[in-house]
């Protein structure tokens, strides 16, 4: 008994949410490699999920999510996007949806609260799976093409400097 009202709100605001997410991804230092991906491609992928969120949460099976996100992981690897940037993009997408839902305001009826909690649980499960399957697709691409793990060496060097003890 998820809150279909909130799912429908997300679906009806999919264009707005996609535009906000693209702006967030373009300006985040954690997703700098996503600039290698054409903006229109990012927009289509985001809208594909957001417009049909109820289907992804309620109807699609695990193998559907696996197939879609495995392909996305392979595609991002082929585009030279660092794995960490791909992971952060998924995490930022999930966080953006949570923020959007909070802005919509939660209701006070126990049944509605239960439905909203169930929606949040399904969103968590969906994005956790998406993250894992995208990572598997990315790693498979890297193995097949004999690339070192994790994207560009420049990105790894930057990350090493940021996290090294001073």
The model's pTM is 0.81
- The answer to whether residues 11 and 50 touch, using CB atoms and an 8 Å cutoff, is yes
CA angle in degrees (0–180, nearest 5) for 65-68-71: 135
Q: Can you tell me which residue has the tokens 């993250």?
A: 131
Those residues of the chain that have pLDDT short of 70 are 1-3, 105-110, 147-166
Can you name the CATH fold of 4-148? Answer: Globin-like (1.10.490)
Instruction: Give the pLDDT of residue 158.
Output: 45
Tell me the per-residue pLDDT of 52-66, one tens digit each, with 9 for 90 and over: 888 888 777 788 999
Instruction: Give the pLDDT of residue 2.
Output: 57
């Amino acid at each position: 008994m998820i809150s279909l009202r909130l799912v429908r709100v997300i679906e009806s605001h999919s264009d707005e949410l996609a535009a906000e997410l693209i702006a967030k991804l373009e300006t985040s230092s954690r997703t700098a490699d996503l600039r290698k991906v054409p903006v229109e491609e990012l927009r289509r992928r985001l809208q594909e999920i957001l417009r049909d969120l109820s289907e992804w949460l309620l109807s699609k099976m695990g193998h559907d999510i696996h197939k879609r996100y495995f392909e996305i992981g392979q595609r991002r690897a082929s585009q030279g996007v660092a794995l960490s940037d791909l992971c952060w993009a998924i995490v930022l997408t999930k966080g953006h949806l949570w923020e959007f839902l909070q802005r919509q305001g939660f209701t006070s009826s126990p049944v509605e609260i239960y439905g909203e909690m169930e929606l949040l649980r399904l969103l968590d499960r969906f994005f956790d799976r998406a993250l894992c399957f995208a990572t598997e697709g990315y790693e498979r691409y890297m193995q097949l093409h004999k690339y070192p793990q994790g994207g560009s060496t420049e990105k790894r060097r930057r990350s090493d400097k940021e996290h090294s003890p001073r």
